[in-house]
Structure 1
Amino acid sequence: MRKLNLRQLILLLSVSTAVLILANTFYTSHKTQRDLLIAQTLEANQAYASKMANSIEDFLSAAQQQLAFAAQDVLLAGNNLEKLGHIANRLNEQTDSFNSVFIVDTSGVVIAASPEAVGLFGKVVMSEGAEQALRERIPLVSKPYVSVTGRLLVFISQPIIDAQDNYLGFIGGSIYLHEKSILYSLLGRHYHANDAYIYAVDSGGRIIYHQDAERIGEVIVGNPVIEKVVKQQTGSQYLLNSHGIEMLAGYAPVPSTNWGVVTQRSLEATLSGMDQQMLAVAKYSFPFFIFIVWLVWLVSRWISKPLWQLARSAEELDEPDINTQISSISVWYFEASQLKRAMLRGLAGLNKKMGKLNLENITDPLTGLINRRGMQIALDEWERQEQPFSVIVADIDHFKRINDEFGHDVGDRVLQTLAQHMQAASRPDDLVCRSGGEEFVILLPQTETAVAHRVAERLRKRIAESICPNVNRPVTLSLGVASWPCGSASIAQVLKNADIALYAAKDAGRNQVQASQTACE
C-alpha cells in the first residue's frame, strides 16, 4: 500500500484539523446557545411565576380588606335586610373579585346574598368554607371544595364582630374555579400562549387554575415541581410532564394560602429556531472553509521539501552519520529550522528520554504513586537483597458509595487527596503504591510490625480527620499490616496476610487497623 508523502500528510492533517475545529465550534456554539436558552427560559419562568404569585397574594390581601370594610357596613346596617342586600350587591358588583357574596349570621343562615340567583337567601349554608368560617371566626381563605350548588370554588371570609367583641357571623365571597373568575383575570394566558402555560395549585396539589378548564380540580401526584412549590419553595427546573413532554418550569408560592404558581414551557419550543440559526451560520462559514483548504494545499507544497528531507532523516536515526545528514539539510524558514535543531537535540537526549519513559511505565497516572508493576519490581529487588520490610495495605471504606453518590470525578479527587496524605506521612525510603482501584500499599523497609502498625494508625487518624474535596462526610480507611520475612512464607503470602488483616478490619467495623494474625513458622 502506497504511503502518503509529507505534502499529502500536511494537507490531510490540516484539513482534518480544520474540519474538527469547525465541528467543535459548531458543537460548542450549539451547546452554549442551548444551555443559554434553557437557563434564560428557566429564569424567565421563575420570574413570571413569582410575579403571578405576588399578584395573587396582593389580590387576596385586597379581597380581605374589601370584606373587612364591608363587615363594618354590615354592623351599621343592623338587621335591615334591604341594606344588607345592598352591601352584598355592591361588594359583588363593584369589582371582579368574587363570583358571589354572602352575609351569614351566627347560626349559619344566609341573611344576604349576591347574586340572588344563587338561591341561598334564608337557608343554612352547610359548605366547608362556611362551616370553617363559623368555627374559626377569623379571616380565612378556604381550600378548594365543591359547594352546595355543585361548583368547585374557593371561599374568602371575614368575621363580623361588634364593638363589644361579640361575633355576629361573617361576610364572604366565592371564587368559582370552573368559571370566569379573578384567577383567570390575574393569571390569564402565558406570553408564549401556544407553547407554554401557567397553572396554580393549592397546598394539596389540586389544580385551582389551568388554561385547560377540564384539568381544574385535578390532584397532581408525583410532580417534583408541585411537591416543591407546595412546600413554599421558589425555583426552576427541568422535568417531564404527565404527557412525557420535556418542560422547563419555574415555580413560586403564595405564602398566605400555601398555594403555588407554576409556569412551564416545552423544551422543544424553547429550542425552536436554533437549528435554523446554526444552518445559517454553516452556510456563511462554508466558503471560508473552502478557502482555508485551498490555502493549506498551496502552503503544503511550499513547505514540503525541507520537511520531507527531515522526515527521511527521521527514518534513519540509527545510521552512524545521521547527525551529518541532518546538519546538511538546508532549511529556509523558522519552523523547519527549529525542527532540525530539535531533532539534533533529540538525538543527544534520547537515552535520557528512554529513562524517563521507563519511570512513567511504573507510575500511576492518576495519583502519581508507584503502580503495581513498579511495586513488584521493588519487591523482587528486596527479595533478592533479603531486605526485611513491613507492608500496610489500605482500602477506602465504602468507596463505591462515593462514586455512586458524587460521581467518578469526585472519586478520583478523593484518591488523589489520599495519595497526597500518604506521601506526606511516609518516610523518604518508604514506597507508596496504588495497587488498583481504591486499594493502596505502603512498603516500609527495615520496619517491624509494631512500628508499621503505629504508622498505619497515624495515617488512619489523619485521613479520618481530613476533609476530602466535594464529599460532605468523612472518608475513612481500613488497613492491614504484615511483615517479611515471616518464617518460610513468600512475599506473595505476606501480601496475602496483609489483605486478610485488611478484611478483618472491615469485618470489625471499618476505619481501623488490624495486624496479621498468621503465625510465622
Structure 2
Amino acid sequence: MHHLDLRRLILLLTITATLLTFANSFHASYQTLHRQLIAQTLEANRAYAAKLAHSTDAFLRAAQQQLAYSAALLPERLDAEVERLKAQTGTFNGVFIVRADGRVQAAAPWGVGLVGSVLQTEGARRALAAREPLISTPYVGLRGHLLVFLSQPIFAPDGRYLGYVGGAIHLGQSDGSLQALLGNHYYQDGSQLYVVDANRHLLHHQEPSRIGEVVSGNPAVEAVLRGEEGSRRVLDGTGIDMLAGYAPVAGTGWGVVAQRPSAATLAALDGLMLEILLAALPFFIPMLVALWWLSKLIVRPLRQLAITARHWEFASAREQIRRVRAWYFEAEQLKLAMLDGLALLHGKLGRLNQENLTDPLTGLTNRRGLQLALERWQAQRRSFAVIAVDIDHFKQVNDSYGHDIGDRVLQHVSRLLGSVSRSSDLVCRGGGEEFTLLLPETSLEGALQVAERLRGLISHAPSPTGSFVTVSAGVAQWPGSAASVEVVLRLADEALYRAKRGGRNRAVVAGQTEVGSEDVPAG
C-alpha cells in the first residue's frame, strides 16, 4: 500500500490552511466592502434627497415671495405686472391676478384668454376661500397639465380683501421650472428620483407617464410623509431591491426620494474583488514556494532518520544518524532515541559477546565501549569530565616482579578506580597501564577532586608488589575544555604527560599547572 510521505502531508496541510485563510480573508473583505458600499450609497442618497428637498423648499418660498411682493404693490398696470412675474425668473408657467369675485383681471400669457372669466379650478377656489398665502395640492389644470398653484392674497389699505395674485407651476413637463430644478438623478443605471405629495401622488419622476400616479406600500415614502429624513433598503413596486434616501420638503407635506438599485451599487464590487485577487497573486506564489522550501527543511532530518532506520543492521547506521542535522526538538529527540536504541542493541549484542566491550584482565570497559559511550553522550549533549590515569613506573614493576605481578597490579588499580567511581561513571582501560574515567555532569573542579582522591588512595594502598604504586592523572572537561570530544581526550592525555614530566604522582588540569603531589610512602 502506497502512503503519502510527511513532506507531501505538510505541504497539503499548509497549502490547505493557507487557502482557507485566504478564502476567509477574501470573504471577509467582500462582506466588509459590501456593507461599506451599501452604507455609502444609502448615505449619498439621503444627502442628495435632503439637498433637493431643501432646494425645492427654497424654490417655493422664493416663488411665494415674488407673489407677495406683487400683491403689496397694487400696480395700476396689472397686465405689465403679470408679464413681469412670468418673465422675471421663469418660475411660473402662468400668472393671474383675480378679483375677490373670482374674475380674472390680468393673465399671462395673453393667449390663455381668461381675462374677465371666472376661474373654476381647484387652486382658484382654494385661494379665494383661504384668503392667505397658499400652495395648493397638485391638480389637473384647464389645459390638462398637472400643476401646483401658489397664491398670495391682495388687501386694500383699509383691510378689505381685493382678491389674489397667483402662479401656476406645471409638474412633469419639460418646460416646468420645478422639473428643471430637480432634473435627473445623477446615475443613469436604473436609479430614480421622485417627489410625492401628502396624498402619495408622484409630482416628479424620470418617467413623465408616471406623474400623478399614487405610490403605495413603499416604506421610504411612508417614512418621508411622516416628516422623517433618513435612508433604508426597500423593494420598489416592481420588486427591485433599492437603496433609498429620503427627506421631507418643509411646509408642503411633500417628500423627496432618491433611490438606486442595489445591484447597480454592487456591480463594481466583483471587479474590485478581482483586482484584489490579482494583486494578491504576486505575494501568494512566493509564499507557496516558501512553504515548499520550509516543508523540505522540516522533513529532511526525519526523512534521513527514516531511511537510516530501514538499514538499521548496517554498521554505518550509527554514523549516519550522528550526521543528521536535527535542528528542532522532535527530530533531535527521535535522533537521540535511535542512538539510544542502537546503543541498547549493541549492549545486548555486547552481552552476547562481552569481550567486544570489556577488558578481559580487569573487567573494565575497553576502548570500543569507551567510544560508544562518548558517541551517545555527545549526541545527547551530555557534559562530562575526563580523567586520564597512568601507573607510574609500571615497566619497572613488570621488569622487577614479572608480568603476573604486573597483571595483579593492574587489577589492584582497577578495583581502586572502581571504588571511587559513581554508578553513572564509566571506568575504562585503554591498554597497558593506561586508564580513562568518564564522569558525566561533572565540572573540572569536581573531576580534579576525584583525581586527587584517587591518587591519594592508590599511593597509600599496599599493592601486590608488597610496596606502594602511584599514578599520574590529567583532567579535562567537555564541552568546557574544547568543542570536540576528540580534542578533549587529547587535552586530558597532554595534561597526564605534563604530570609525568612534573614528577609523577600528581594530577594536572588541562590548560593549568600541576596541582600538588605527595611523597611516596616507603615500603
Which residue of the other structure, out of 99, 118, 131, is the alignment partner of 1:105? 99
Identical aligned pairs, as a percentage? 50
Name 2:257's counterpart in structure 1: 262
* Paired residue secondary structure (1:150): coil
Asked if 1:145 corresponds to 2:139, the answer is yes
1:336/1:253 Cα in 2 relative to 1: closer, same or farther (>3 Å)?
A: farther
Name 1:7's counterpart in structure 2: 7
Write the distance in 2 (CA, Å) between the matches of 1:134 and 1:282. Answer: 69
Name 1:248's counterpart in structure 2: 243
Name 2:206's counterpart in structure 1: 211
Are the counterparts in 1 of residues 243 and 259 from structure 2 also a CA contact under 8 Å?
yes
* Paired residue secondary structure (2:327): coil
Are the counterparts in 1 of residues 189 and 264 from structure 2 also a CA contact under 8 Å?
no
Q: Give, in angstroms, the shift of residue 108 of structure 1.
A: 1.0
* Paired residue secondary structure (2:106): strand
* Paired residue secondary structure (1:273): helix
Equivalent residue pairs, number: 317
Q: Give, in angstroms, the shift of residue 2 of structure 1.
A: 4.8
- Which structure would you say has the larger Rg? 2
Write the distance in 2 (CA, Å) between the matches of 1:32 and 1:21. Answer: 16
Name 2:268's counterpart in structure 1: 273
Structure 2: gaps spanning 5 or more residues: 307-323, 336-523
The within-5 A match list for 1:500-519 is none
1:262/1:289 Cα in 2 relative to 1: closer, same or farther (>3 Å)?
A: same
Give the TM-score, by structure 1 length.
Answer: 0.57
Name 1:199's counterpart in structure 2: 194
Write the distance in 2 (CA, Å) between the matches of 1:238 and 1:151. Answer: 33
1:137/1:283 Cα in 2 relative to 1: closer, same or farther (>3 Å)?
A: same
Given residue 15 of structure 1, which amino acid in structure 2 is its aligned partner? I
Asked if 1:156 corresponds to 2:150, the answer is yes
Write the distance in 2 (CA, Å) between the matches of 1:219 and 1:256. Answer: 21
Write the distance in 1 (CA, Å) between the matches of 2:171 and 2:296. Answer: 78
Asked if 1:68 corresponds to 2:68, the answer is yes
1:300/1:178 Cα in 2 relative to 1: closer, same or farther (>3 Å)?
A: closer
* Paired residue secondary structure (1:138): coil
Q: Give, in angstroms, the shift of residue 235 of structure 1.
A: 0.5
Write the distance in 1 (CA, Å) between the matches of 2:226 and 2:243. Answer: 19
Given residue 99 of structure 1, which amino acid in structure 2 is its aligned partner? N
RMSD: 2.6
Name 1:28's counterpart in structure 2: 28
Given residue 54 of structure 2, which amino acid in structure 1 is its aligned partner? N
Name 2:327's counterpart in structure 1: 332
Asked if 1:118 corresponds to 2:112, the answer is yes
Write the distance in 2 (CA, Å) between the matches of 1:235 and 1:6. Answer: 60
Asked if 1:169 corresponds to 2:147, the answer is no
1:7/1:166 Cα in 2 relative to 1: closer, same or farther (>3 Å)?
A: same
1:39/1:339 Cα in 2 relative to 1: closer, same or farther (>3 Å)?
A: farther
The within-5 A match list for 1:348-497 is none
Write the distance in 2 (CA, Å) between the matches of 1:307 and 1:269. Answer: 56
Q: Give, in angstroms, the shift of residue 331 of structure 1.
A: 5.2
Given residue 278 of structure 2, which amino acid in structure 1 is its aligned partner? K
* Paired residue secondary structure (1:272): helix
Structure 1: gaps spanning 5 or more residues: 78-82, 312-328, 341-521
The within-5 A match list for 1:285-296 is 285-296=280-291
Asked if 1:134 corresponds to 2:132, the answer is no
Name 1:231's counterpart in structure 2: 226
Q: Give, in angstroms, the shift of residue 25 of structure 1.
A: 2.1
Write the distance in 2 (CA, Å) between the matches of 1:50 and 1:181. Answer: 21
Are the counterparts in 1 of residues 224 and 248 from structure 2 also a CA contact under 8 Å?
yes
Give the TM-score, by structure 2 length.
Answer: 0.57
* Paired residue secondary structure (2:184): coil
